[in-house]
Amino acid sequence: MFSTLKRFLIGKPLRTEELESEKMPIWKGLPILSSDAMSSVAYGTEQILLVLAIFGSTALWYSLPITGAIIFLLTILILSYRQVTYAYPEGGGAYNVSSDNLGLYGGLVAGSALLVDYTLTVAVSSSAGVAAITSAFPALHDYSVLIAVLFVLVIMMLNLRGIRESGTIFAFPTYMFILGIVTLIVIGVGKLFFTGIPEGAPPVTSHLPQGLTLFLLLRAFSSGCAALTGVEAISDSTPNFKKPESRNAARSLAILGLLMAVLFGGVSLLAYMYHITPSGTETVLSQIAEHTFGQTLPYYYIQATTALILILAANTGFSAFPILASIMAKDQFMPRMFAVRGDRLSYSNGIILLAIGAIILIVAFQAKTEHLIPLYAIGVFLSFTLAQVGLVRRWLKDKSPGWVYKITINGAGAALSFIVLMIFAVTKFAEGAWIIIVFLPLLILFFYRIHRHYASVSKALQLDVTEDQPLKSDHVMIIPVGGVSKVVSNTIAYAKTINGEAIAFYVGFDEESVDRMEETWEKWNPNVRLVATVSRYRSVIRPLLRFIDHIEDEHNDKRQITVLVPEFMPHRWWHKVLHNQTALMIRMILLFRKDVVVSTVPFRLDQ
């Protein structure tokens, strides 16, 4: 029943060989992997304006140089990451690069930071997507959290079915979004060209308005940097591209950089020209679209495609997180289960973990983008820094052709990423960044402990195949019996095929039942010793555990103890409710004992 439901939702299992066919050409890989970066156009400008707007309309002008600075930063990052796709065609991005060049623990820090950020990507993008919808339909505002959670669940399901199918569904919205925003910018700027800039435009000024300190300017800058998260997703997933993987990924990165500069710059420019200030109920992008088109079809097109690409951005997290988790699991930083591909060849456990984490964040922060932003981007810029430093070290070592250029690019990337990281941590600390600054080291410690555990266990379990041979041990079997029946007889027959002593163990709730049992046993006489005892607490488990301890003490822990649990198998599985509660309990409790083999001996009726 459960497996039928699973088949319906997830699809039939796929063979391992079908993995290759899941790879994507540029036209499909680009939209899927870059939608996170691209979609931040929907909220990047707004995050800058949210900081500036408090200081009156003169302050709004500063959004333009800040946007410029972010686009410059973007250019450096794109150039840096193009190097990564060539150097690391197997993917893994910051984690691979860092652990390769800075040692395993450098990788651990970068990987943990990225895992946290992918989870935030899903939460932020879903929340911003819902904001695009509620801007157009304010009646839905009260259900934001619910809608965001539903989105996460749907994306999770699509990803459990496998990334290829997700691709085909998810490739178009990105193109539709780009088309929409480019049209918006062209028509918006065109209109301004013919009608002139509206009166009362915030003046271009070099005077800082009252109260707008450098600290706050930097805070506005770091808020805007949230737009840069997701740039690394393409290089993380290089192996998801069709051959030649590296070149396709590098090209995708270049296209991405160009598109983002146009979209982000255009939106910031229009916001400034239209003197738009952020509102609690309508997004900045929605205001721009309304200014340009009015409440007409094109306006709704912008809102719909914005929502779609943001949902798709959440999907970026679902592409990157499970792959990174699987690599980290193979390196024994995470539980093994994250390294196993599910029926549909996706890393199901990573997908499910990510969905849970994102839903927790959405509920905790009530699907409010501006409250999630301070937690965002720290992880990304930390991993950016580590990866770029790693590459610099690599070029210094191997001095491959063009190493001076490469070091210049990656060195600049490292320095800039680190500076942004520091600005972010300082200016956003009190607003929520402290949560990540506390949580991330704990997560790193946790992964480190897992690593140590696996290492110590695998060392301890290692076998010298040329020497260690399995050794026989002496043997005693305990058979808990509730009476005399064919089920018990079957178990005793089984016990007789095993070398060693068998003891039947009976627990009665009063003296008479014990006497009766002993009498019946003697009459039957199946050549097995019976130990019968009274339990005044009506529990079978406790006397059984005591008896096992007793047998162990008697033989100084030398003999292997097996508990053979007789189990009656009814014809229909749901008849089990009517039988075997005791057998079930015994099995469950004994599975926590490290010294006892538990065997379930089934008996079925042949009717």
Omega prior to 470 cis, within 30 of 0: no
Q: Quick one: 19 or 419, whose CB is closer to a second copy? A: 19
Task: Kindly state the smallest distance separating residue 468's Cβ from a second copy, in Å.
Answer: 6
- Collapsed DSSP state (helix, strand, coil) of residue 31: helix
Task: Kindly state the smallest distance separating residue 588's Cβ from a second copy, in Å.
Answer: 11
Q: Quick one: 90 or 154, whose CB is closer to a second copy? A: 90
Task: Kindly state the smallest distance separating residue 343's Cβ from a second copy, in Å.
Answer: 7
Neighbour count for residue 482 (Cβ, 10 Å): 16
Task: Kindly state the smallest distance separating residue 64's Cβ from a second copy, in Å.
Answer: 51
Q: Which amino acid is at 52?
A: L
- SS3 of 39-96: the string is HHHHCHHHHHHHHHHHHCHHHHCCHHHHHHHHHHHHHHHHHHHHHHHHHCCCCCHHHH
Compute the distance between CA of residue 81 and CA of residue 73 in angstroms, rounded to an integer: 12
Task: Kindly state the smallest distance separating residue 269's Cβ from a second copy, in Å.
Answer: 51
Compute the distance between CA of residue 350 and CA of residue 356 in angstroms, rounded to an integer: 10
Q: Quick one: 186 or 340, whose CB is closer to a second copy? A: 340
Task: Kindly state the smallest distance separating residue 248's Cβ from a second copy, in Å.
Answer: 26
- Collapsed DSSP state (helix, strand, coil) of residue 275: coil
Compute the distance between CA of residue 427 and CA of residue 169 in angstroms, rounded to an integer: 39
Task: Kindly state the smallest distance separating residue 563's Cβ from a second copy, in Å.
Answer: 10
Compute the distance between CA of residue 383 and CA of residue 93 in angstroms, rounded to an integer: 9
Task: Kindly state the smallest distance separating residue 156's Cβ from a second copy, in Å.
Answer: 20
Q: Quick one: 57 or 490, whose CB is closer to a second copy? A: 490
Q: Quick one: 224 or 566, whose CB is closer to a second copy? A: 566
Residues in the chain: 607
The residues, ordered by sequence, that sit 6+ positions from 18 with a Cβ below 8 Å of its Cβ are: 345
Task: Kindly state the smallest distance separating residue 357's Cβ from a second copy, in Å.
Answer: 17
Compute the distance between CA of residue 82 and CA of residue 94 in angstroms, rounded to an integer: 13
Compute the distance between CA of residue 307 and CA of residue 313 in angstroms, rounded to an integer: 10
Task: Kindly state the smallest distance separating residue 47's Cβ from a second copy, in Å.
Answer: 38
Q: Quick one: 21 or 607, whose CB is closer to a second copy? A: 607
Q: Quick one: 5 or 577, whose CB is closer to a second copy? A: 577
Neighbour count for residue 320 (Cβ, 10 Å): 29
CA nearest to 76, candidates 388, 495, 337: 388
Q: Quick one: 267 or 564, whose CB is closer to a second copy? A: 564
Task: Kindly state the smallest distance separating residue 246's Cβ from a second copy, in Å.
Answer: 25
593: left (phi over 0), alpha (psi -120 to 50) or beta: beta
Task: Kindly state the smallest distance separating residue 173's Cβ from a second copy, in Å.
Answer: 32
CA nearest to 25, candidates 256, 241, 172, 175: 241
Q: Quick one: 141 or 593, whose CB is closer to a second copy? A: 593
The residues, ordered by sequence, that sit 6+ positions from 548 with a Cβ below 8 Å of its Cβ are: 478, 561, 563, 593, 596
User: 299 and 181 in contact (C-beta within 8 Å)?
Assistant: no
Q: Quick one: 195 or 469, whose CB is closer to a second copy? A: 469
Neighbour count for residue 215 (Cβ, 10 Å): 10
Q: Quick one: 207 or 472, whose CB is closer to a second copy? A: 472
- Collapsed DSSP state (helix, strand, coil) of residue 525: coil
- Report how far apart, in Å, the C-alpha atoms of 11 and of each of 3, 19, 159, 163, 468 are: 11, 15, 11, 13, 45
Q: Quick one: 170 or 521, whose CB is closer to a second copy? A: 521
CA nearest to 114, candidates 415, 334, 362: 334
Task: Kindly state the smallest distance separating residue 192's Cβ from a second copy, in Å.
Answer: 54
Task: Kindly state the smallest distance separating residue 241's Cβ from a second copy, in Å.
Answer: 23
Q: Quick one: 161 or 219, whose CB is closer to a second copy? A: 161
Burial class (CB in 10 A: 0-12, 13-18, 19+), 469: exposed
Q: Quick one: 197 or 457, whose CB is closer to a second copy? A: 457
